[in-house]
Amino acid sequence: MASQNRDPAAASVAAARKGAEPSGGAARGPVGKRLQQELMTLMMSGDKGISAFPESDNLFKWVGTIHGAAGTVYEDLRYKLSLEFPSGYPYNAPTVKFLTPCYHPNVDTQGNICLDILKDKWSALYDVRTILLSIQSLLGEPNIDSPLNTHAAELWKNPTDKAIGSPPYSRPRQRGNPSSLPDTPGQLSTHLLPQALHGWLHTPAHLHQ
């Protein structure tokens, strides 16, 4: 029996070489070849805080990881995302969703992302690396004029508003590994708010409630 603890990079190289189609067949089509190239480009890019690999041996379904950028309230946090590529890729945008709950103005409770390059601003010139870097940037610079999470958007615009004292947003996160994320978006809120709230939320009075 093959080991279940495979190196994701090695498994991804194998998937790229195989060139699997969405149906699981081994036929090499233009989309498969494009994704092979994107995988290799991403693996060799050296970009910090982003990575993605095909899920199992299917090049058309990937799992990505994004680390919050330094200097933002998402710093030290890690998020997993799913990326599904249509047969019309790269002329049609992939479907990208957060798998890890993320409290953010442009992310809803189902993990859907409001990002123009994944919608009407998509271009065949974009690739997986572009997508991951754009989402990483979006974490620290949300578009509060087009929110999916209106409460998060209001908190971002008005960090001193009394709404921050209402449950579940008044409850600080537990101490521990910052990468060990709670299961619900509400539990994440206290350290996923604008930088203006960061100090308020980490005062001893709130940490020891």
- What residues are annotated to the active site? 114
**Three-state secondary structure string covering 145-205:** CCCCCHHHHHHHHCCCCHHHHCCCCCCCCCCCCCCCCCCCHHHHHHHCCCHHHHHHHCCHH
Residues with Cβ within 8 Å of residue 62, at least 6 apart in sequence = 52, 53, 54, 55, 82, 83, 84, 85, 128
**Tokens representing residue 125 in the block:** 């010139």
Separation CA 173–CA 176 (nearest Å): 9
Residue 165, C-beta contacts closer than 8 angstroms, at least 6 positions apart: none
Per DSSP, 86 falls in state: -
**Encoded tokens for 113:** 């992302």
Task: Assess contact for 82 and 99: CB atoms under 8 A.
Answer: yes
